[in-house]
Structure 1
Amino acid sequence: MPECAYITVLALGGPQNSVRQYAESADHDVHTGTLNDVDDSVDVLVLDDTTDCSPHRVLEHIREHGYDCGVLLLGDRDETTRGVDITLPADASTEEIRTGVVRVARRVAYEAVLDDLFDLCERRADLLDDGDEDALDAVSDRIRERRECTDDIAARFDEADYRAAFRDLD
């Protein structure tokens, strides 16, 4: 998902007023639903930890199905939940939720572009052995584009975004 692409957000359970207000004023797609509504089209999942869905169950479901969505958790628990991109207080304002969703979407986009960049680099290494200059030039151009895209996205990162983007490298 490129940085400025359309964002699809799914809010699980019966969202609180600030999430409903955010959904009404958002310039992207915001749906409410259940865990069964999570699919590949969801970029950011907003989860209120006061609903019946436990954050651990939701994250397990996402991992089991291989979904690449980011997770924004609204809650007042002090515990840190691995796999949650951003945690906001349960009483977060509409603007805080909007900012959080954009930050999570940016992280998801960065990871997708980085994965593509790694795949292209592997393809380029194979082409170096094959000697196909035209294909090598085309892949090299795509690598340059992906690098520029990662640079553009990362330019908006803060320390927390970097930690989240590279947390799986442990």
Structure 2
Amino acid sequence: GDAARTKAQAKQKYAAPMSGALKKLADVFIPLIPAFIASGLITGIINLLKRPDIAGQLAVDYPNALGLLAIFGSAVFAIMNILVGVNAARVFGGSQAMGGVMAGILSSPALAQITLFGEALQPGRGGVIAVLLVVALMCWVEKRLRTLLPESVEL
């Protein structure tokens, strides 16, 4: 009752100015930690298997197996922008699929064919920071559109 309300009011009153933004940032990246851990473990195993003093001729005898493991180990980095886009959209209150699409657009090789202000666009430029900013803007626009459009238009 009163104790919980008082505690919540004190927490809100003494909250650091940036704590809300940092919490949102943490909510975007914390779900990715298991993927980063798995990637590191796989990469570590590959490095052990490449050492002749540990695994003998395994790397020479089975190069395709190690190559496949390397793909598994680096997969999270290949799609990291999309994962960040999906998580950012969830955190900022937008459509997760659209967050992934926005991140995919920023990473698309087709961007190199487009010029803006006389400069060719560079796919992936800005990395996850660009994804966070674009998805935050997308969520802001999406929320505004939801208030303007009739419910029959929403999916």
Q: TM-score, normalised by structure 2?
A: 0.33
The structure showing larger relative contact order (alpha-carbon pairs under 8 Å, at least 6 residues apart) is 1
Q: Which has the higher strand share?
A: 1
Larger Rg: 2
Q: TM-score, normalised by structure 1?
A: 0.31
Q: Which has the higher helix share?
A: 2
